[in-house]
Chains A and B, each alone.
Chain A
Amino acid sequence: MNAPFFKFEYFNRDVSLIIAFAIGIAFGIALEKGGFGRATILASQFYFTNMRVLKVMFTAIVTAMLGLYFFSVIGFVDLSLVYLTQTNMLPMVVGGLVAGVGFVIGGYCPGTSVVAFATGKIDAVVYVLGMIFGIFVFGEMFPSIENIFNSGFMGNVTIPSYFNLSYGLVVFLVVLMALGAFAAAEWGEKKMSEKSGKEKV
């Protein structure tokens, strides 16, 4: 048996939609359990008081990355069949900055707003309306910004292929970076709680 299963046509498109629904449920449960249905928790990442966003995100990236790497080493998953979004450097830099500013102003990112919506947060309903408006504005602007959208094209490029490093080495470096980030996050949270504790006294 070879993976990705869908690419080897072990099942058809209709079945894939049922799988999408099931994976979505698991995704939603994980986000809710992480506290990501609450804008106050998400935003606190940017004030160093609660680093859950960083911890959950980097743990998830490391887990999936290690799993995928292991599966490709043993020949189970064909990595070349796993979807890579093409890199367009300029729009990704600008889009990332705009999205980051929007994250702090709105308090959610698209996925977490769905979970907040599901757990009764009215600001998330408004956020989703805002998102629909933003996408519509982007769509209407598209003919005039199409050249920017397609600028800085680099194709399907990964960190190992771009820097000419082995895949395993980059995996190892990402794990090290994540561990460093976790240590910094735990230290920072402790410092911040000491500080706020003193202020209360």
Chain B
Amino acid sequence: MTSITKILTHAFEKDEGHVHIHIKEKPYSNPYLVGVGLGLVLLAAFVIMGRGLGASGALSTAVAVTVNKIAPKHAAQNNFYKEYVGDETTNPLMDWLIFQTIGVLVGGFISGTVSHRVKKGIEKGPRISTRMRLVYAFIGGGLLGWGAKLARGCMSGQALSGGAVLNLGSWVFMMMVFVGGYAAAYFMRRQWI
């Protein structure tokens, strides 16, 4: 972990030596307008496909397929991996969520490029070191990966998509995310403010 952060920190610092032509980045859009746009994308997914949006599912498939490649016997005994690998009649990587997530990557890059917001950097408050920020990013990612799997979905699949179809469990999940977030916020304040 330490060596990874070192490499990444180094890669980041190297870039600061270069002279950049700074094109002013555009401000972010009105949140309510973005919300309507995001809602229409979600509605389109419901109308066309009969399902909502997702994010953590694509990585789960990737993890399950990798484990299955390396240790097929081990994966075969595990219902979690089996669910994502499937019955081998179809390629598990030819999956809706994987294609949708690659789309998110492309869409984010297009939008960022158009608004001059694609920039190598590390997101953090002024009171925390780069290394600690990266350690927290890893821990937070780990907790979300774990929690989302236990809850059968993340902010996209549960809170957003399940929220719009008034799914009981999704609303409970969403409320719990806010409870957990606000409860932990005090202890993380040095990282952000």
Interface residues of A (CB under 8 A from B): 3-7, 13, 16-35, 37-41, 43-47, 49, 52, 55-65, 67-68, 71, 76-77, 79, 81-89, 91-139, 142-143, 145-146, 148-149, 154, 157-162, 167, 170-171, 174, 182
In the assembled complex, 8 residue pairs joining A and B whose CB atoms fall closer than 8 Å, in A order, are A27-B104, A28-B109, A44-B193, A57-B160, A68-B47, A96-B177, A104-B140, A129-B138
Contact between chains at A119 and B39 (CB < 8 Å): no
How many angstroms between the C-alpha atoms of A98 and B183 in the bound complex? 11
Quote the shortest CB–CB distance from A45 to chain B (angstroms).
8
Q: With contacts A18-B99, A24-B103, A88-B152 known, what are 5 further pairs, Cβ within 8 A?
A: A4-B48, A20-B99, A23-B45, A111-B54, A123-B123
Which 4 residue pairs across A and B have the least CB separation, nearest first? A106-B140, A24-B103, A59-B35, A100-B180
Known contacts A26-B107, A135-B149: does B166 contact A52 (CB below 8 Å)? no
Contact in complex: A55, B117 (CB < 8 Å) = no
Closest-by-CB residue of B relative to A103 is B181
Given A24-B99, A83-B52, A102-B141; A65-B166 close (CB under 8 Å): yes
Q: Are B38 and A30 in contact (CB under 8 A)?
A: yes
The residue from A33, A71, A112 contacting B34, defined by CB atoms under 8 A apart: A33
For A170, give the chain B residue with the smallest CB separation.
B166
Contact assessment for A136 and B67 in the assembled complex, using a CB-CB cutoff below 8 Å: yes
0/1 interface trace, chain B 171-193, chain A, CB 8 Å (1 if under): 11111111111111100110111
| Chain B residues bordering chain A, tally (CB within 8 A) | 126
The distance in angstroms between the C-alpha atoms of A127 and B70, with both chains bound, is: 24
Q: What is B's interface to A at a CB cutoff of 8 Å?
A: 4-5, 8, 11-12, 28-29, 31-32, 34-56, 59-60, 62-64, 67, 77-81, 94, 96-97, 99-112, 115, 117-125, 133-134, 136-160, 162-185, 188-189, 191-193
A62 B39 Cβ-Cβ under 8 A: yes
Q: Is the CB of B193 within 8 A of A34?
A: no
* Separation of A21 and B32 alpha carbons in the complex (Å): 25
| Bound complex: CA A43 to CA B193 (Å) | 9
Contacts of A112 in B (CB 8 A): 155
Residue of B nearest to A37 (CB): B108
CB within 8 Å for A39 and B123 given contacts A23-B44, A129-B141, A142-B79: yes
> In the complex the two chains form, is A60's CB within 8 Å of B139's CB?
no
Q: Given A102-B147, A121-B123, A31 and B38 touching (CB < 8 A)?
A: yes
Contact of A131 with B59 at beta-carbon distance under 8 Å, contacts A93-B176, A100-B183 already known? yes
Q: How near does chain A come to B132, taking the closest CB pair, in angstroms?
A: 11
Chain B residues near A59 (CB-CB < 8 A): 31-32, 34-36, 38-39
- Which residues of chain A have C-beta atoms less than 8 A from B141's C-beta? 102, 106, 108, 113, 126-134
Inter-chain CA distance A12–B39, complex, in Å, is 25
Set of chain A residues within 8 Å of B156, measured between Cβ atoms: 109-111
* Complex Cα–Cα for A132 and B148 (A): 12
- How far, in Å, is B128 (CB) from chain A's closest CB? 11
A122 touching B12 in the complex, CB below 8 Å, given contacts A7-B50, A134-B143, A135-B145: yes
